Amino acid sequence: MTLWQLFQKLRPFVRPYRTLVIATLVLTLIGSLTAQVNALTLQYAVDSINHLIKAGQGLAQGWHILITISAVLLVKEVVNAVVQFGQKFYGERLRIMVSQDLAQNIIEKFLTYRLTFFTEDDNQAGKLQTRIDRGIGSLTRLVQIFFIDILPLFTSAIVALGLMFYANVWVGTVALCIVPVYFWLTYIQAQKLGGWRRKLRQGREQKSQGILSIINSITVIKSFNRENIEADKQLGLQKDLTQNQMQTRQTSFLFDGLKTFIEQIGVVLIIILTAYFVLTRQMSIGMIMYHVLLFNNVSAPIRQLHRIYDEINDAMIYSESFFTILEADHEIEPTGQQKPAIAGQFELKQVDFHYPNGHHALKDISMTIRPNKITALVGLSGAGKTTLISLLDKFYLADSGSILLDGVDLKDMDTAYLRDHIGLVLQKNHIFQGTIEENIRYGKMNASMAEIVEAAQQASIHEQIMTLEKGYASDALLLSGGQQQRIAIARMFLKNPPIIFLDEPTASLDAIATEQIKHSLDQIKQGRTVVIISHSLSQIIDADYTYVMKEGRIVEHGEHHALYKNSQVYKEIFNAMAKSLNIEKIARTLNPDEDLTA
């Protein structure tokens, strides 16, 4: 991306703050004029005093000069203070507002993206966050650099150069000739530093990632006694970082020295040239100070050039990936228009699905999920059960074949409408940062407290919530895994949808909680379309109809008894589940007197 393209992309974000931009520009112009006042005043002071001395006059006649200088400098300082404050304040305000809009825009945008976007390798949680953070950081820095650094400094430099040319073409030309040398040195410096600075940043990121990883894996590290290995890993990173820092500093100091040298040569040349004009009576002596101070204003922005160059380069790199995310319109979740009355009958016809990484997860799936019935999906790990539910919820679209809900193709159905009618409880707990109340309310944003309590009671978690000091205002993330799962179930009770997908809803619960929830789930299953994935015998037996999946295909289906009698895979899985439960021993424990072999 070129700088011009970058500015074009930033324009819509800056446009709403036109007044701020204009105010900053006006102040910048005033600032660049006041920046030249010192040079003018000093020239006036030197020439006037020189004139007095030549005329044999003293302090008595010079008072007015001192008063004029003091008044001019005082007014200039006051104006300058106001201008600088306004300029920094408006510039900073602009930066903050643009940063806020960029952040909000990208969040609003990627919330509309389909699930495949989030499962792409480049968009994993940490990576996506870093790309967004860095993008916003560098883009707002660019706005800041432009309005707070570049614009005032360069305007002042151009005005100073103009004044030098106006005073004398030769002096102006000397000042102008120094600029390309400076530019060239800065360019080389930025080139050399660019790579190292990037490595430095990467090193710092790796270091903080490393610390994070240690904190996250502290239990494993300690249980394996691997503290020394982890410390050594960090030492390696630290050494690279230190070496990089030293190299960066070395180069910086070298070039800073070179640039100061060139700048001083410029100053000396200007003094010599102006002195020549003074001695040949073409200029007054005050012009020496005048030119030196103006030249200082010319070289000031160039001194910062390598930093600015570097930051612009960074901004271009990071903002590229930021805008890739922001402009990924092809990732926007597709939606149809239809909003039919939902009875809850799914019809799948020859559905095929590949994940974005190419994994063929569903193959030629044809099945019917009936309303008011419980349909179980059974299969070994990785068979494709969760994937199938994801397609029913339109998280992914089938590659081929069709999925109909009450006769309407899911592709033609309004996606938000569809999801309003589906309740999803997954095997992983989905608890947001916040209170228990907020977490349950997620199922129905305008629910009353009474409804929330009722939902919690249905999910058998109310009593436990009441034992907490803060009750429903307690931090939901502090609950145990089982309790969190029941909060998720309460959320679904509150949503009260006609279709329910349960993906191992009791997998993380203890036996008693499972039993309590089983009762609640039995209640909510009434009169709805329920699809349940479970490795629990009792839940599978309860299903009205069962589909058995293997390696992405439906291999068997039927009602429990018939299926068990006539199937292979189902029988195998069912027997294995029963065996793992050690049913014989359990039965003997429960009925010690019964002859189990009879």
Ligand X SMILES: Nc1ncnc2c1ncn2[C@@H]1O[C@H](COP(=O)(O)OP(=O)(O)OP(=O)(O)O)[C@@H](O)[C@H]1O
Footprint of ligand X (CB under 6 A)? 119, 355, 357, 359, 361, 379, 381-387
- Are 497 and 444 contacting, i.e. CB atoms less than 8 angstroms apart? no
**Which residues sit opposite 545 in a β-bridge?**
375
Q: Are 340 and 408 in contact (CB under 8 A)?
A: yes
Which residue, 306 or 385, is less far from ligand X as judged by CB? 385
Nearest 5 degrees, angle CA 526-CA 532-CA 535? 130
Q: Residue 459 CB, nearest distance to ligand X (Å)?
A: 22
Question: Residue 256: CB partners within 8 Å, gap ≥ 6?
Answer: none
Distances (CA, A) of 533 to 267, 395, 540, 541: 81, 17, 8, 12
Question: Least distance in Å: CB of 508 to ligand X?
Answer: 13
Q: What is the nearest approach in angstroms of ligand X to the Cβ of residue 358?
A: 8
Q: Tokens in use for 322?
A: 């930021």
How is residue 114 annotated by DSSP?
-
- Residues whose CB is less than 8 angstroms from the CB of residue 195 and which lie 6 or more positions away in sequence, other chains included: none
Q: Minimal distance in Å, beta carbon 385 to ligand X?
A: 4
Closer of 338 and 386 to ligand X (Cβ) = 386
Q: Which is nearer to ligand X, 381 or 467 (CB)?
A: 381
What is d(CA 65, CA 59) in angstroms, rounded to the nearest whole number?
10
Q: Which is nearer to ligand X, 384 or 423 (CB)?
A: 384
Q: What are the DSSP calls for 70-110, one per residue?
A: HHHHHHHHHHHHHHHHHHHHHHHHHHHHHHHHHHHHHHHHH
SS3 assignment, position 556: strand
Long-range contacts of 442-451 (CB under 8 A, 24+ apart): 442/491, 443/490, 443/491, 443/492, 443/493, 443/494, 443/495, 443/496, 444/494, 444/495, 444/496, 447/494, 451/494
Concatenating the DSSP letter of every residue in 371-419 gives TTSEEEEEESTTSSHHHHHHHHTTSS--SEEEEEETTEEGGGB-HHHHH
CB of 460 to ligand X, least distance (A): 24
CB nearer to ligand X: give 301 or 379.
379
Complex with ligand X: residue 380 or 468, whichever CB lies closer = 380
Question: Whose Cβ is closer to ligand X: residue 286's or residue 379's?
Answer: 379
Token pair in block for residue 150: 């570049």
Closer of 385 and 491 to ligand X (Cβ): 385
Shortest distance, position 470 Cβ to ligand X, whole Å:
35
Shortest approach of ligand X to residue 398 CB, angstroms?
14
The H or E element containing residue 314 is: helix 305-326
Taking the least distance from each CB to ligand X, the nearer of 371 and 382 is 382
Least distance between ligand X and beta carbon 410 (Å): 18
CB 361, min distance to ligand X, A: 4
CB closer to ligand X out of 280 and 381: 381
Shortest Å distance, C-beta 124 to ligand X: 11
Helix (H) or strand (E) holding 338: none
